């Protein structure tokens, strides 16, 4: 079986690492080809089992450009020879349209599209032109997979997708992997000293994550607290500049990307998000599985994801003062942090284990292909 993956980006973020986990779960009987709309953005490849056969075709037509008939035909022709086509987010939508227009003519495999959220260009609101484009392009897709109830509502209402095409699949992780406490030096280049406390986050360093906001919210905490931002991306310099401006550069650390979050997230004492837009962030589930309290804006499904004990620390979106107050309240009360973290761990184990997620993805892909036993 050969699967083609067309990504808006294959940098190491939530949707990309989930795709890698699914590929690993499907095993060596499936071959994969991965294309990124952003040239060279293949950071998530480190999370793929090296035993799998995975290609990164350099001659695949660009996923970006004007959607002219000839360019879309070239994209469609490049999709031949696969048993299943998987597309991800707005950056791959031209390929979805190419499949819609030329799929039947060229005998292309079924296509399943995945939408996981929005970048900064749609964080403040959906663009009507893109809504119309999605309605047109998705008309021949076998399924549209979304991870959050907010995105499910958008798919049904703004994109006018039929109920039978939209599939809500909640993100899951191997919750048991987050049970053990990591060693103090688990974060590359950074060891946790005795007595230190860490506010931590796992995030691609992109503008939509608004990590300078997190630096400002953190800056009021006492000296034993450090902010550890695990991830990589184009906003690194802006984050460092904000830390310098706030006078906390010596307490803000950017160690880079870590391929296995379970190996480091347990070192955090509080998990924090500061994003302008999220849907169902896997990093929050990872923090919950590690037994952490979460301070976050109420973006996407976060308020519904966390335990009831944690909900008071999910604050109005965009309210930087409220986020800072949540961090301060958790930082100042260890017993509270422990109690909230315990409730979050129980919630994660009960609701977000990856075995359920993998089973539903298998069912969805198998149904699209017309097979009863997907690998």
Local confidence pLDDT in tens for the 375 residues of the chain: 999 999 999 998 889 999 999 999 999 999 999 999 999 999 999 999 999 999 999 999 999 999 999 999 999 999 999 999 999 999 999 999 999 999 999 999 999 999 998 877 786 789 999 999 999 999 999 999 999 999 999 999 999 999 999 999 999 999 999 999 999 999 999 999 999 999 999 999 999 999 999 999 999 999 999 999 999 999 999 999 999 999 999 999 999 999 899 999 999 999 999 999 998 999 999 999 999 999 999 999 999 999 999 999 999 999 999 999 999 999 999 999 999 999 999 999 999 989 989 999 999 999 999 998 899
pLDDT at 124: 76
Tokens of 266: 């347990």
User: Residue 335's CB: how many other CB atoms inside 10 A?
Assistant: 7
3-state secondary structure 85-134: EEEECHHHHHHHHHHHHHHHHHCCCCEEEECCCCCCCCCCCCCHHHHHHH
Query: What pLDDT sits at residue 118?
Result: 83
pTM: 0.80
Same topology, domains 2-172+354-369 and 175-351? Answer is yes
**185-190-194-195 Cα dihedral, nearest 10 degrees:** -140
Provide the CATH number for the domain formed by 175-351 in this structure: 3.40.50.2000
Q: What is the pLDDT of residue 140?
A: 97
Give me the architecture of the 2-172+354-369 domain, per CATH.
3-Layer(aba) Sandwich (3.40)
CA distances for 110 relative to 22, 93, 102, 234, 346, angstroms: 18, 15, 12, 35, 38
Backbone angle region of 27, left / alpha / beta, with phi > 0 → left and psi within -120 to 50 → alpha: left
Cβ-proximal residues to 28 (8 Å cutoff; 6+ apart), any chain: 51, 52, 53
Q: Which helix (H) or strand (E) holds 7?
A: strand 2-7
Give me the residues paired with residue 274 across strands. none
Rounded CA-CA distance 338/340 in Å is 6
The domain spans of the chain are 2-172+354-369, 175-351
Q: What is the pLDDT of residue 141?
A: 98
Q: Note the pLDDT of residue 119.
A: 76
The whole-number pLDDT of residue 12 equals: 83
Contact 237, 206 (CB under 8 A): no
Residues of the chain by 3-state class (helix, strand, coil), percent to 5:
45, 15, 40
pLDDT at 125: 86
**Calpha distance 343→306 (Å, rounded):** 9
- DSSP lists the bridge partners of residue 111 as 85
């Amino acid at each position: 079986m050969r699967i083609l993956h067309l990504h808006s980006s294959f940098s190491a973020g939530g949707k990309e690492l989930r795709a890698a986990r699914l590929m690993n779960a499907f095993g060596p009987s499936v071959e994969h080809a991965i294309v990124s709309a952003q040239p060279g953005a293949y950071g998530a490849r480190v999370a793929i089992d090296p035993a799998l056969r995975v290609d990164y075709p350099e001659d695949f037509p660009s996923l970006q450009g004007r959607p002219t008939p000839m360019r879309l035909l070239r994209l469609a022709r490049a999709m031949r020879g696969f048993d299943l086509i998987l597309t991800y987010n707005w950056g791959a939508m031209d390929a979805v349209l190419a499949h819609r227009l030329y799929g039947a003519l060229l005998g292309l495999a079924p296509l399943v599209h995945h939408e996981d959220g929005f970048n900064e260009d749609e964080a403040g609101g959906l663009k009507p032109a893109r809504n119309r484009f999605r309605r047109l392009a998705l008309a021949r897709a076998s399924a549209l997979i979304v991870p959050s109830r907010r995105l499910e509502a958008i798919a049904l209402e703004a994109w006018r997708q039929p109920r039978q095409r939209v599939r809500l699949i909640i993100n899951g992780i191997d919750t048991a992997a987050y049970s053990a406490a990591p060693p103090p030096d688990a974060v590359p280049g950074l060891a946790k000293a005795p007595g230190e406390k860490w506010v931590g986050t796992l995030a691609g360093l992109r503008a939509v994550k608004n990590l300078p906001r997190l630096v400002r919210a953190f800056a009021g905490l006492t000296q034993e607290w450090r902010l550890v931002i695990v991830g990589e991306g184009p906003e690194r310099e802006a984050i460092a500049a904000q830390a310098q401006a706030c006078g906390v550069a010596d307490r803000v650390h950017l160690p880079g990307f870590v391929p296995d979050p379970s190996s480091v997230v347990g070192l955090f004492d509080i998990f924090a998000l500061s994003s302008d837009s999220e849907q169902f962030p896997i990093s929050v589930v990872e923090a919950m599985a590690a037994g952490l309290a979460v301070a976050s804006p109420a973006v996407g499904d976060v308020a519904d994801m966390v335990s009831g004990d944690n909900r008071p620390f999910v604050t109005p979106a965009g309210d930087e003062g409220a986020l800072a107050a949540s961090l301060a309240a958790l930082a100042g009360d260890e017993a509270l942090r422990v109690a909230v973290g315990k409730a979050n761990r129980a919630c994660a184990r009960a609701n977000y284990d990856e075995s359920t997620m993998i089973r539903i993805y298998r069912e969805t892909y198998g149904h699209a292909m017309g097979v009863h036993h997907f690998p």
